[in-house]
Amino acid sequence: MTNNDILRRLRHALDINDTKVAEIISKTGEKTSRSQVSRWLKREDEEGCKTISDATLCRFFDGLIIEKRGARPDGTVPETLHVLSNNEILKKLRIALEMRNEDVTAVFEKVGFVVSKAELGSFFRKEGHRNYRPCPEQVLRKFIQGLGMKQD
């Protein structure tokens, strides 16, 4: 999945509009317009489509954390990552949505996708840890799909 595809899927899963996406990114100090967001959300084959960088997508996730959980007590914004892995995306979504491992597992269960406790834990480890495993694209895709499914 491209960064643009991830943003498109999350926008639908979280039920937010282009203006809200721009507001979320702006919470990190990066001014973003609705028209800029609209260009990122266009399909790659559409005219006017712009690629969203890892750094900007990271700002979206950091802004989402601020939106959902509030700013840090000291008012600082996390340092922007310039390379964003699927593991980092999964971690940032878990933080923003205040989810525990059981909540994450429940999201996967909604879409009929089985992830063991050990496997899930390996995705949240620091890179370089002996139990770290890279998060496959399919796992991230299923998680975002599960987020988009409405609660009972």
Q: Could you give the CA distance from residue 104 to residue 120 in angstroms, rounded to a whole number?
A: 9
pLDDT in tens, the chain (152 residues): 899 999 999 999 999 999 999 999 999 999 999 999 999 999 888 898 999 999 999 999 999 999 999 888 887 888 888 999 999 999 999 999 999 999 999 999 999 999 999 999 999 999 999 999 999 999 999 999 999 986 54
DSSP annotation of 51 reads P
Which of 51, 52, 77 has its CA nearest to residue 64? 77
Residue 60 sits in the same domain as residue 98? no
The three-state secondary structure class of 127 is coil
Residue 92 sits in the same domain as residue 142? yes
Instruction: Give the domain range for residue 107.
Output: 86-148
> Does 75 reside within a domain?
no
> Does 18 reside within a domain?
yes
